[in-house]
Amino acid sequence: MYEKCPNAARGLKWLFIAQILTLISAPLMAIAIGSLTALAATVLNLVGLYTATHDDAGYFPALYAEIASLVISVLSGSFVQRGSVAYSLLSVVSVVLSLFIVYRVITTTLNLLDGRDGTLALRGSYVINIYVICTLVAIVCMVLILIPLVDLLAAVVSIVAAIAMVVGYVFYLLFLHGASKALA
C-alpha cells in the first residue's frame, strides 16, 4: 500500500506522545512534575524529529526550528523581562516557529504518503489552515494587547483563537497518530 518508512513512523509516534505530554504538562505547571513533563515532551519532540529524518530529510527544517524554539524559550524565560518588547518579540518568533514545525511535519509526511490517504491529507490541510489563521490572529493580538483601550478586545479575540487552536491541536494529534500507523 504505502512505501514503508519505519523511521518516520517511529518519529511521528514519538511526536504524538510528546504532544500528549505537552497537554498533560500544562495544568501541572504549578508543581514540579509539570516542568518535568514539559521537559520530557521537548526531548521526545527532538527525538521524534531526529528519528524521522532518517527516512526523509524534509523533517530536518522542523528539527532545526524545534531547537531554535528551545533556545528562544530558555532566553525568554531566563534573560528577558516578562512584558517587555523583547519578550513580546520572542513570543512572536516562538509562535511562528511552532507553526513552521507543524507545517513541515505535515507536508513532509504527506509527501511520504504520496497522496494515497485522502483522509490524512484532508486532516493535514485542516491543521495547517487552522494553525495559520490562529497564528496570524495570535500575532496581531500580541501587538494589539500592548495598546490601551484595544487590549481588552485583543484579549477576547485571543481566547477565541486559543479555542480554535485546540480544535487544530486535536486534528494534529489525529494526523500524527494516523500517519505513524500508515507509514509503519
Please tell me the distance from the alpha carbon of residue 169 to that of residue 22, in angstroms, as a whole number: 11
pLDDT, tens digit, 9 for 90 and up, residues 44-82: 999 999 999 999 999 999 999 999 999 998 888 777 777
82 is in which domain, residue-wise? 6-183
Measured at the CA of 103, the angle between CA 102 and CA 106, to 5 degrees, comes to 80
In the predicted model, is pLDDT for residue 83 greater than 80? no
Tell me what the mean pLDDT of segment 163-172 comes to: 88
**Does 31 fall in a domain?**
yes
Please tell me the distance from the alpha carbon of residue 89 to that of residue 118, in angstroms, as a whole number: 38
**Does 177 fall in a domain?**
yes
For residue 99, count other CB atoms closer than 10 A to its CB. 19
**Does 54 fall in a domain?**
yes
For residue 83, count other CB atoms closer than 10 A to its CB. 9
Number of domains in the chain: 1
pLDDT, tens digit, 9 for 90 and up, residues 103-129: 999 999 998 887 777 788 888 888 899
Provide the whole-model pTM: 0.87
**Does 1 fall in a domain?**
no
Mean pLDDT (the chain, rounded): 87
**Does 107 fall in a domain?**
yes
